[in-house]
Structures are given as structure tokens and as C-alpha cells.
């Protein structure tokens, strides 16, 4: 929801950063790799008991993830870059979930359910993106929903900062993911009927 409706407020900073990195000689794919390398360490920092460093690496990687997309639009996007971007995003999320699960084993069952819900929601998202002929500003149709990347980062941040409520926050995230998956399924039904017409 925030990625869809609030993006216009941060786009100037994202576009300015993208321009500077392109001028520096970096490509969108370079920045995708950098964002991944930074973001995937967040789970390690969680497990090592450094929540503030975990948050910093998570949010820096998220910012660079937005920047690499802007760079691709300013230069040339590639299917390979899109594949890397989407798969790296999931690996960063997995690192956070694994870091939390190993540090707080009592919440592992809820974190496992959350991981399953993310798999289901992303399957719907990516399948609709590949089946529909609609295109957005990304190289495939970006289906909006209640839980987009920013909402996920906010919920992950709360989970990292308030471990006393980890199970409760994880179940809240799970509910948001399930709602988003159902929301996207409902939209997909009408989109795919339109494409078939």
C-alpha cells in the first residue's frame, strides 16, 4: 500500500541517488548486488544481538532496492536484473526470519507460518505479473495490496525491536500477508478475465 501510494514522496531522493550512482559508473545490476549483500546480513545481526545494525542494514538495502529500479528505468532494464531483484528481496526477508527464529525459538512456529504466507502471497503476485498483459513502471505488472515491501519492512522492524511481542507481531504480519494474498487473488480473477476477453 505504501509502495503504491507514498512512493511519490520519496521518488525525488530515489531518482537523485540513482542519477548520482549512474554518473559514478554503476549499473542497476551492480546496485542490486550491493543491496543484497547489505540486506542479507540483517539476519546475522539479529542473531548476534545487534538489532540496530540489523535495522540499518535492512533499511539501507530496501532503499538501494528502490534505487536500482530507478537506475534501470533511467538506463536500460533487463529481465535478468528483474529476476535478481525479486529473488534477492526474498533472500533478505528469509535472512530476517531465520535470524529471529534462531534467536527466539519459542516464536519459530509463528515465523514458519509467516514464511509460508510470504511464499503463497509472492506466488500469486509473480504469477499474475507473468500472466497479465498489463504493465506498470516495473518490467511486469506490479499488483498493489495491503502488504507491500515497505509494510513488510515496518513489521520486520517492529519484530526486531520488540522481541517480547515477537509472536504477536509475527501473527499480525501473517494476517496481513493472508489478507493481501486474498486481495490479490480477487483482483487477479477480474484481470485475467479481462485478458481472456
Closest CA to 34 of 74, 59, 68: 68
| Segments of the chain assigned E as strands | none
Closest CA to 55 of 166, 165, 154, 168: 154
**pTM, 2 dp:** 0.87
CATH superfamily for 2-196 is: CDP-alcohol phosphotransferase transmembrane (TM) domain (1.20.120.1760)
Condensed to tens digits (0 to 9), the pLDDT of residues 167-179 reads 999 999 999 999 9
Report pLDDT for 188: 83
Place of cell 531483484: 85
Q: Is the dihedral of CA 179, 154, 98, 95 positive or negative?
A: positive
Amino acid at each position: 500500500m505504501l509502495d503504491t501510494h507514498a512512493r511519490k514522496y520519496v521518488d525525488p531522493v530515489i531518482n537523485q541517488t540513482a542519477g548520482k550512482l549512474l554518473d559514478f559508473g554503476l549499473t542497476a545490476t551492480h546496485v542490486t548486488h550491493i543491496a543484497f549483500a547489505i540486506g542479507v546480513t540483517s539476519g546475522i545481526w539479529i542473531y548476534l544481538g545487534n538489532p540496530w545494525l540489523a535495522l540499518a542494514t535492512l533499511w539501507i538495502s530496501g532503499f538501494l532496492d528502490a534505487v536500482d529500479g530507478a537506475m534501470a528505468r533511467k538506463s536500460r532494464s533487463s529481465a535478468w536484473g528483474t529476476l535478481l531483484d525479486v529473488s534477492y528481496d526474498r533472500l533478505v526477508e528469509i535472512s530476517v526470519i531465520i535470524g529471529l527464529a534462531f534467536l527466539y525459538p519459542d516464536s519459530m512456529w509463528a515465523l514458519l507460518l509467516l514464511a509460508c504466507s510470504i511464499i503463497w502471497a509472492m506466488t500469486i503476485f509473480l504469477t499474475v505479473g507473468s500472466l497479465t498483459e498489463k504493465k506498470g513502471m516495473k518490467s511486469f505488472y506490479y499488483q498493489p495490496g495491503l502488504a507491500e515491501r515497505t509494510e513488510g519492512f515496518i513489521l520486520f522492524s517492529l519484530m526486531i525491536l520488540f522481541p517480547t511481542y515477537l509472536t504477536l507481531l509475527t501473527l499480525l504480519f501473517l494476517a496481513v500477508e493472508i489478507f493481501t494474498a486474498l486481495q490479490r487473488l480477487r483482483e487477479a480473477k477480474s484481470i485475467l478475465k479481462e485478458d481472456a476477453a
